[in-house]
Amino acid sequence: MPRPRATSDAEILAATGRAIGAHGPGRLTLAHVGAEAGVSPATLLQRFGSKRGLLLAFAADAAAHAAAPYRRAQTACDSPLAALHAAADEFARHMSTPEEMANHLGMLQLDLSDAEFRLHAAAHTHAVDAVLRELLADAVAGGELPSGADVARLARAVKITTDGSLLRWALTGEGDPADLLHDDLDHLFGRTS
């Protein structure tokens, strides 16, 4: 009977995300991930085959769990728009410096230039679109947004606003990313203060 793994694949993939934030996918080494996860590079090779295999597993896992921040927020909040704001807070917490965001954007280069990564990126995008459409439809049904709102188009605009706000923050260094996200989402929803 094989020994149980001391460090799960899920823990390794979470550590991979942190290591990508620190180093970017181009400079990332198995030693970086191993140090973050508390395993040897040999263990990573045994489980994932290569750095590329590890990054593909990371991309697949990210796609499989793309809706998770929204679902957590949906469970914790009393309204769909509050859930969107709570998810924005989570995204902002994961971007502590412009350099960290730049390192994560390195994955976007892989997504755009490599067909295998692009499949996972597309799945991620579709999963986020679906959960956003659901939350926004609930917001319309609950009276938080006007009836007749184009939910599909608004879902795209929410994702574009979220990504754009974080990118603008990274480029300018101005303000708090969570505050900027809240302000931009409120503006999008017609709820200016």
Tell me the residue range of the domain where 140 lies: 65-188
Q: Is 2 among the domain residues?
A: no
3-state SS of 159-190? HHHHHHHHHHHHHHCCCCHHHHHHHHHHHHCC
Query: Do 162 and 182 belong to one domain?
Result: yes
Residues 86-141: tens digit of each pLDDT: 999 998 888 888 899 999 999 999 999 999 999 999 999 999 999 999 999 999 99
Place of tokens 């954007």: 105
pTM: 0.90
3 falls within a domain: no
CATH of the domain at 44: 1.10.10.60
pLDDT digits (tens, 9 = 90+) for 14-25: 999 999 999 999
